[in-house]
Amino acid sequence: MLFHVQSMYMDSTYAKGLIMNIDSVALDNPFILAPLAGYTDLPFRLLCREAGAGLVVSEMISCHGLIYGQTQTRSMLKTVPEERPWSVQLFGSEPESMGQAAALVSAMPVDIIDINMGCPVPKVVKKGSGSALMKPENLGRAEAIIRAVVGNTTLPVTVKFRSGWNDASIIAPDFAQMCEAAGAAAVTIHARTWAQQFGGKADRLVITAVKQAVSIPVIGNGDILCYEDGLEMMQETGCDAVMIGRGALGNPWVFQPDGIPETLAGRLPVIRRYLELAEQHLDTAHLLFRIKNHICRFLSGLQGAAAIRQEIISCSSLAEVEAILRENS
């Protein structure tokens, strides 16, 4: 057994006190895998569920890509029963298309729909999606989007957003209240502004303020690099759960107390498990690229990792990747 966290959560009195619900969806661990474009593919989501994540979220899904039946978008929605509960994150700028996308997702084996109102990437923001919906002039449209999604599904709807547009516009508590009034079952607050992007430090006081402003579950996000960081955020802010993004890359151990192994030998079983899951669930066109991406993350911080990473990046087949791992085990 690669991870022992599942049985630990079943048996721990303390952990039982941390079990939470998002509407009718029960999470057996309040540590959640965030949506990460290019990374939270099905194999990685499954790996994180095996590591103890209470909920996993898809890569962000374009509402237009879904409506128009784009092959790549549809492939990102592939799932298996073992990963449930799982959430699909939608992004878009128009209430009507977001409502249509929500209706399509509702016909799939999905547990929660999440709305992305926090992505700071320029190409997303320029189209009026993601963090752009936190601009003062777009707040009415943000509310209309939430109401459209809620009105087109029976699934719980959550919203992920940031502290605000910039330091002069920290609106997260009011924004959370708007989300709740519009029908959201929970909110996730990344405690940085759009202007910060991923720099600076997440402001936990904003998470505390959001928690005090609403009665629905609040999920904290930002700067969680280990299990202890997550517990500390929950204790400091009173938030009901934490969502882990970049801190989970190459580190599914973040969802359990034991921490990341400090040697390649300690990490290899999980790396091989990801390879196994990737071979099962990824199409051949994306298989090698995704495997290289994830394995390079798994090797981070290890002695001699740079040389191994360079070898793996140069590989032209999965067999070559496996051979390099054998040589270094």
Q: Which residues are annotated as a binding site?
A: 89, 160, 190, 245-246
**DSSP secondary structure, 14-26, as one string:** HHHTT-EEETTEE
**How far is 214 from 284, CA to CA, in rounded Å?**
45
* CA 151 centroid distance within chain: 24
Q: What angle do CA 188, 192, 197 make, to 5 degrees?
A: 115
**Interatomic CA distance for residues 325 and 329, integer angstroms:** 6
Question: 172-181 and 204-213 are packed helices; what angle lies between their axes, rounded to 10 degrees?
Answer: 30
Residue 276 three-state SS: helix
For residue 22, which of 185, 244, 213, 212 has the smallest C-alpha distance? 185
Helices (H) and strands (E) in the chain, counts: 15, 11
Q: Which of 56, 66, 78 is nearest to 103 (CA)?
A: 66
In the annotated binding site for FMN, the residues are 89, 160, 190, 245-246
Handedness of CA 306, 312, 314, 320 (dihedral sign): positive
Q: How far apart are CA 236 and CA 71, in angstroms?
A: 43
Tokens standing for 182? Answer: 């519009």
Do residues 41 and 35 lie in contact, with contact meaning Cβ atoms separated by under 8 Å? no
Active site residue 239: no
Write out the catalytic residue numbers. 119
